[in-house]
Amino acid sequence: MQPVVIVNIFSMFPLLFTIYLAKRHLSGSRQNWYYIFASVITIILLFLEIVGSLISRTQTNFALIIHYLSYSLGYALTPAVPMVILFYLGCSTWPLAKKNVLFIPMGLNVLLSILSMQSGWYFTILADNTYQRGPYFWLVTAFSAYYYVWILLRLLQIRKERIVPSKFLMGFVYLLPIISTAFQMATRDEIFVFSTVGISLLLYYLIVQEAQFDYDVQTKVRNREAFEQELLSKQHLEQDYALFMFDVNNLKQTNDIWGHQEGDSLLYSVAQIIAKSFEPEAKVFRIGGDEFCAILPLAKKPDPASYQQRVLASIATANESRVHPIRIASGFSLSSKDAGISLRKAFIHADEQMYRNKNELKRILREQS
């Protein structure tokens, strides 16, 4: 049996495993259906490669027809995998006019793939039923590269959102199909492009799912476990940090009067305000039911008080349009290697400052009432 057949068969198993995982984590999300769709297309492409390899040099009219159809369909679907991944990454929400930048190249590639059965632009099947590249074979790679560029741009945008997988691992997974495609362009040997795509799809999904374990599902910022890992990883570094503590004062009142759904909305709003005020310079964590912490490196000597004021100003702006206003207490402290103040001690000091501010706000509120 040819090596490409063996490799493709075994590449289908991780893809089936990916589909199984994606179906388990659907949770009503349409995005995972796009991921499943991309995996199914890749399985079809792997199957078409197997068919093409098995019937090659079989000199019957039926084998010749199947050979033509398998390559025509294979070329037509090749750019579909990265295009569907773009939908998985959120491009499904684009307006129709913007989606045309994705649909038009795909439609053109499908048309050229069909016409190539007669014209030989992409490929031709010789008299002995063997495959030969056509003069415009590179166009399929160009169409795929077009979508890979869009994927890269989309991943750079997603970096600004809360859930951020490892940049190194994401870069490695992203480069795998690109490197494989480049080798395919440079040589006529089998490079197993779609088996590489299949492995990349599985790795990508596992990396994204693993990254979500460090994030709080409700607020979309990092969770307490990620916070403890951050303190542990930075305890031996020479760099100094500012730690900020924030506590939502009126969460219980909101839950009691307007219900837990409104309380959840309040927590999410606070988390997003804090995250937008600090990121990308700092990492933001939900460390308790209504408590948040931000860790800001002081390498560039930022003014920590300005970040605290930025959060308070953003909350004041948000309260202008909110039915149920946000009320928070805050405090911050600095770690210092020279002064012997560890990151853990700075966290305790910031927490103490935050509670002093919380008590002061309660006192002011009592006096006003």
Report the pLDDT value the prediction gives residue 292, as an integer from 0 to 100.
93
Look at residue 189 and tell me whether its pLDDT is greater than 60. no
CA dihedral angle for residue 304, residue 310, residue 312, residue 314, rounded to 10 degrees: -160
Q: Give DSSP secondary structure letters for 168-202.
A: HHHHHHHHHHHHHHHHHHH-SS---HHHHHHHHHH
Q: How confident is the model at residue 162 (pLDDT cuts 50, 70, 90)?
A: very low
Look at residue 351 and tell me whether its pLDDT is greater than 80. yes
Strand order in the sheet with 283-286: 283-286, 291-297, 241-248, 328-334
Report the pLDDT value the prediction gives residue 168, as an integer from 0 to 100.
66
Report the pLDDT value the prediction gives residue 160, as an integer from 0 to 100.
47
- Averaged pLDDT, 257-275: 85
- The residues of the chain that CATH labels 3.30.70.270 are 224-368
* Nearest residue to 67 via CA among 58, 76, 79: 58
- Asked whether the beta carbons of 90 and 31 are under 8 A apart, the reply is yes
Q: How confident is the model at residue 215 (pLDDT cuts 50, 70, 90)?
A: confident
Report the pLDDT value the prediction gives residue 252, as an integer from 0 to 100.
76
Look at residue 179 and tell me whether its pLDDT is greater than 60. yes
Report the pLDDT value the prediction gives residue 258, as an integer from 0 to 100.
79
DSSP 244: E
> In the predicted model, what is the mean pLDDT of the chain?
83
Look at residue 85 and tell me whether its pLDDT is greater than 60. yes
Which of 57-71, 100-114, 205-219: highest mean pLDDT?
100-114
Rounded Cα distance between 109 and 140, Å, is 7
pTM: 0.66
Encode burial over 338-368: b for 16+ CB neighbours within 10 A, e otherwise.
eeebbbeebbebbbebbeebbeebeeeeeee
Look at residue 128 and tell me whether its pLDDT is greater than 70. yes
Rounded Cα distance between 275 and 246, Å, is 12
- Averaged pLDDT, 141-151: 87
Report the pLDDT value the prediction gives residue 361, as an integer from 0 to 100.
82
Q: Does domain 224-368 have CATH number 3.30.70.270?
A: yes
Rounded Cα distance between 59 and 74, Å, is 21
Which of 6-10, 199-203, 243-247, 271-275 is predicted least confidently? 199-203
Report cis status (omega within 30 of 0) of the bond before 280.
Answer: yes
Rounded Cα distance between 16 and 117, Å, is 31
Q: Whole-angstrom distance between the N-terminal and C-terminal Cα of the chain?
A: 85
Q: Tens of pLDDT along 285-327?
A: 999 888 999 998 887 667 888 888 889 899 999 888 887 788 8
CA dihedral angle for residue 247, residue 276, residue 161, residue 321, rounded to 10 degrees: 80
Which of 101-105, 200-204, 227-231 is predicted least confidently? 200-204
Report the pLDDT value the prediction gives residue 136, as an integer from 0 to 100.
93
- The residues of the chain that CATH labels 1.20.1070 are 3-212
Q: Which CATH architecture has domain 3-212?
A: Up-down Bundle (1.20)
Q: How confident is the model at residue 263 (pLDDT cuts 50, 70, 90)?
A: confident
Q: Tens of pLDDT along 3-62?
A: 778 888 888 888 888 788 778 766 556 777 888 898 899 899 989 989 988 898 888 989
